[in-house]
Chain A
Amino acid sequence: MRMTGAQAVVESLKKEGVEIIFGYPGGAVLTLYDALYESEYPHILTRHEQGAIHAADGYARATGKPGVVMATSGPGATNLVTGIATAYMDSIPLVVITGQVAVSLIGRDSFQEADIRGITTPITKHNYLVKKGDELPKVLKEAFHIAMTGRPGPVVVDIAKDVFAAEIDFYYPEKVELRGYHPLYEGDEGVLERLAVEMEKTRKPVLFVGGGVNLSDTAPEVRALVELTGFPLITSLMGLGAVPDDHPLHFGLVGMHGTYAANMATTECELLIGIGVRFDDRVTGLLEQFAPKAKVVHFDIDAAEINKNVRTDIRVLGHLKWSLSKLLDILRDKCDCEALQEQMRPWLSQLNDWRSENPLSYEARAGQVMPQAVIEIVDELTQGDAVIVTDVGQNQMWAAQFYHFKNPRSWLTSGGLGTMGYGLPAGLGAQVGCPHKKVVVITGDGGLMMNCQELDTVAKFSLPVKIMVLNNQVLGMVAQWQRMFYGGRYAHTNLEGRTDLVKLAEAMGVPGMRVTQPDEVRRTLQEALAMPGPVLVDFRIPSDEDVMPMVPGGARLDQMVMGGK
């Protein structure tokens, strides 16, 4: 079929089943946007390109579908960079379509020219510059395939302006053939047999679950593994939601702000089975002393993750759907799982002791709204069923610690890059993807301001996002480090914000509420959650509350400082 390059992009998106585009137009994509107009393609116009890309990222995390972003050349494209890096670090599938200046102008420092391919090379799974119309369908087919298969990630497709106007013969390929890209699905079964033998022998194992489980939708398999073996489970920040937090064998978050039980279990275990994790430094603490007594097993789809940070004794490569199902089969076939569960008793009683010795806790202060209590009440009122989207900082850690996640893909946070400004736009995108779910954004006063323009988008599209601002008037997490490690010298972390957040929200069309007294928290939350549309609640919390427990940077996990009650 004859059509223009711009129409070919639209047709390709239709073939891929793309429901919605998050974007922002400009000169280089005028022709493309004209094709969107013509086809009435669903599109969310954000108020900043960074908002668009975080929204697409939130949409992808919440739905498991690829997020699609469009932006113009030059500044449009460079505004996406933080969002691309955010998605890359957390392996989120995005297809990012940017306009580029016309082919004849490339390389001449033309108006609004930026080498976005060069800029994004280290932060994309793959990227393209399209200079010929005929290549478009093939490139887009490849882009979606690469973004979604193997270890997912963002793919940038930069398209020269004149390509959108070029006439092409549209033919969308059925299959992708790339000589250098063969994502692994099945790995080595023999390894799993050997692992099963190790699992049968062990008396102190830990299943350490990460974001890979959420990404591969293998929460049911992980849960089955926990229940079959009776092994205790801990998670990384990205692994929350894979198994419900209130499962008796779930001992919580491991790492810098992890639970005492999870960090002690890691220190004392003799078999650590990492599933879809990358042993980030926020998890391991002092790397040399991480899980010092354990044989380490590592399940991953990406061979480059093996031995990157932690030395692995048994590697299980392949898609988790394959490896976990296979392992379950082998265990059911060959192991006496009842005996195994029995064998866990002393270890589990040790873990339960650790849990009851030092549960997550905080000290309520008279007359003060405690951030942890806000999260607890949100949890209670939504019964762990909301999609929780956070910003970065203390608000993020309190949400991770005090919300009781029940479902996979219900915890959206920028874990790897730690991008402030992520929460509000990602919540917007998640709500677009899940119109019938309760989406609750937990954000800080600092992070909110980084993309507060998206309040306008939330209002424009009547997205019923509930925005909870834990307003401590400071860049709380940084201030906490200054308090703990820099003698309380608060260098530029005091925001002393002049902005009335309630008025800000209302100026942008989102109803606002403020909570200054602890006894108002529940009633206000009830009201906010029951409202049909979006709402922002400004919770005035103390400025000097710490996230506890904490493993100081570079310390061992068992050297955690407890705090709390």
Chain B
Amino acid sequence: MKHTLAVLVENRPGVLTHISGLISRRAFNIESIAAGYTEEADTTRITVVVEADEIELEQVVNQLSKLVDVIKITDLTAMDAIHRELALIKVKASVETRSDIVDIVDIFRAKIVDVNRETMVIELTGEETKIDALCEVLHEYGIIEIVRTGKIALSRGPIPAKEL
């Protein structure tokens, strides 16, 4: 099963390497990892998506928690939470196909952020599955490149992850 973990860490050089090193050394199955600043200048928040059974998940959480720079880990999987990923997709778009692609973009509530004679860049935010679906549909037009941020997640309600 896939688990989404919010990992709050000290905003210090080397922390990301430490975490990714530990993950690879212990051979955990990580699907994505996304990091960024938070409401506190000295805290970085990393969202980790891991494929694991209960026992493996316990290991991931306990091993990561042991790192001195890891402040708190919250499992958002079973919680009421918003899960999002952002993707930029560069697709081939000729005069003939352009309007079809625009239709698709509308249906997915995506955005066109760049257009030129041969290509378009589409931006889509949503759950992973939605992004997968759009990529699949666009496939036949010829996808040139895709970049995805990896999932980020935030619980609903007033309580922040650090207090959950």
Query: Do A and B bind?
Result: yes
Q: Which A residues are closer than 8 A to B by beta carbons?
A: 117-118, 121-122, 125-126, 129, 146, 178-181, 302-304, 306-308, 311
- What residues on B are CB-neighbors of A311 within 8 Å? 55
Is there contact, CB below 8 Å, between A304 and B59? yes
In the complex, the chain B residue whose C-beta lies closest to that of A308 is B59
- What residues on B are CB-neighbors of A178 within 8 Å? 68
Q: Which of B10, B62, B70 is packed against the most chain A CB atoms within 10 Å?
A: B62
Residue B128 CB within 8 A of the other chain: no
Is there contact, CB below 8 Å, between B68 and A307? no
Residue B65 CB within 8 A of the other chain: yes
- What residues on B are CB-neighbors of A181 within 8 Å? 68
- What residues on B are CB-neighbors of A308 within 8 Å? 59
Known A-B contacts A121-B21, A303-B62; the reply to A180 vs B14 at CB < 8 A is no
CA A118 to CA B63, docked complex, whole Å: 18
- What residues on A are CB-neighbors of B22 within 8 Å? 122
Is there contact, CB below 8 Å, between B63 and A307? no
Is there contact, CB below 8 Å, between B14 and A121? yes
CA A304 to CA B62, docked complex, whole Å: 5
Residue B75 CB within 8 A of the other chain: no
Name the interface residues of B16-36: CB closer than 8 Å to any CB of A: 17-18, 21-22, 25
Mask, B28-46, CB within 8 Å of A = 1, is 0000000000000000000
* Least Cβ–Cβ distance between B13 and chain A, in angstroms: 8
Known A-B contacts A117-B14, A121-B17, A122-B22; the reply to A180 vs B68 at CB < 8 A is yes
Is there contact, CB below 8 Å, between B68 and A304? no
Mask, B57-76, CB within 8 Å of A = 1, is 01100110111111110000
* Least Cβ–Cβ distance between A115 and chain B, in angstroms: 10
Is there contact, CB below 8 Å, between B58 and A307? yes
Residue B9 CB within 8 A of the other chain: yes
CA A172 to CA B25, docked complex, whole Å: 36
Is there contact, CB below 8 Å, between A304 and B14? no
CA A125 to CA B25, docked complex, whole Å: 15
- What residues on B are CB-neighbors of A117 within 8 Å? 14
* Least Cβ–Cβ distance between B49 and chain A, in angstroms: 20
CA A311 to CA B63, docked complex, whole Å: 16
Question: Looking at the complex, which one of A118, A122, A126, A302 makes contact with B68 (CB distance below 8 Å)?
Answer: A126
- What residues on B are CB-neighbors of A121 within 8 Å? 14, 17-18, 21
Is there contact, CB below 8 Å, between B17 and A125? no
* Least Cβ–Cβ distance between B86 and chain A, in angstroms: 28
- What residues on A are CB-neighbors of B70 within 8 Å? 180
In the complex, the chain A residue whose C-beta lies closest to that of B13 is A129
Q: Which of A121, A180, A306 is packed against the most chain B CB atoms within 10 Å?
A: A180
- What residues on B are CB-neighbors of A302 within 8 Å? 66
Is there contact, CB below 8 Å, between A304 and B63? yes
Interface majority SS (helix, strand, loop, mixed), chain B? helix
Is there contact, CB below 8 Å, between A125 and B14? no
Is there contact, CB below 8 Å, between B17 and A180? no
Question: Looking at the complex, which one of B14, B62, B68, B71 makes contact with A306 (CB distance below 8 Å)?
Answer: B62
* Least Cβ–Cβ distance between A278 and chain B, in angstroms: 13
Is there contact, CB below 8 Å, between A304 and B21? no
Is there contact, CB below 8 Å, between B17 and A118? yes
- What residues on B are CB-neighbors of A307 within 8 Å? 55, 58-59
Is there contact, CB below 8 Å, between A303 and B65? yes
CA A171 to CA B10, docked complex, whole Å: 24
- What residues on B are CB-neighbors of A179 within 8 Å? 10, 71
Is there contact, CB below 8 Å, between A304 and B55? no
Top 8 nearest A-B pairs (CB, nearest first) are A304-B62, A180-B71, A126-B68, A179-B71, A303-B62, A181-B68, A304-B63, A180-B70
CA A304 to CA B13, docked complex, whole Å: 25
- What residues on A are CB-neighbors of B68 within 8 Å? 125-126, 146, 178, 180-181
- What residues on B are CB-neighbors of A126 within 8 Å? 67-68
* Least Cβ–Cβ distance between B21 and chain A, in angstroms: 6
In the complex, the chain B residue whose C-beta lies closest to that of A126 is B68
Is there contact, CB below 8 Å, between A180 and B69? yes
In the complex, the chain B residue whose C-beta lies closest to that of A118 is B17
CB<8 Å pairs between A and B, sample of 18: A117-B14, A118-B14, A121-B14, A121-B21, A122-B21, A179-B10, A180-B10, A180-B68, A180-B72, A303-B62, A303-B65, A304-B59, A304-B65, A304-B66, A306-B58, A306-B62, A307-B59, A308-B59
CA A357 to CA B25, docked complex, whole Å: 44
* Least Cβ–Cβ distance between A513 and chain B, in angstroms: 46
CA A308 to CA B28, docked complex, whole Å: 13
* Least Cβ–Cβ distance between A434 and chain B, in angstroms: 31
CA A251 to CA B68, docked complex, whole Å: 39
CA A118 to CA B17, docked complex, whole Å: 8
- What residues on A are CB-neighbors of B67 within 8 Å? 126, 180
> What 11 additional pairs, Cβ within 8 angstroms, besides A121-B14, A306-B62?
A121-B17, A121-B21, A122-B21, A122-B22, A125-B68, A129-B13, A146-B68, A180-B10, A180-B71, A303-B65, A307-B58
CA A181 to CA B9, docked complex, whole Å: 11
- What residues on A are CB-neighbors of B62 within 8 Å? 303-304, 306
* Least Cβ–Cβ distance between A175 and chain B, in angstroms: 16
CA A125 to CA B17, docked complex, whole Å: 15
Q: Which of A118, A179, A311 is packed against the most chain B CB atoms within 10 Å?
A: A179
* Least Cβ–Cβ distance between A153 and chain B, in angstroms: 10
Q: Which of B25, B55, B62, B68 is packed against the most chain A CB atoms within 10 Å?
A: B68
CA A125 to CA B22, docked complex, whole Å: 12
Question: Looking at the complex, which one of B9, B13, B55, B59 makes contact with A180 (CB distance below 8 Å)?
Answer: B9
CA A117 to CA B62, docked complex, whole Å: 23
CA A126 to CA B67, docked complex, whole Å: 7
* Least Cβ–Cβ distance between A462 and chain B, in angstroms: 40
* Least Cβ–Cβ distance between B94 and chain A, in angstroms: 47
- What residues on B are CB-neighbors of A146 within 8 Å? 68
Mask, B104-129, CB within 8 Å of A = 1, is 00000000000000000000000000
CA A121 to CA B55, docked complex, whole Å: 25
Q: Which of A117, A125, A304, A306 is packed against the most chain B CB atoms within 10 Å?
A: A304
CA A181 to CA B67, docked complex, whole Å: 8
* Least Cβ–Cβ distance between B120 and chain A, in angstroms: 40
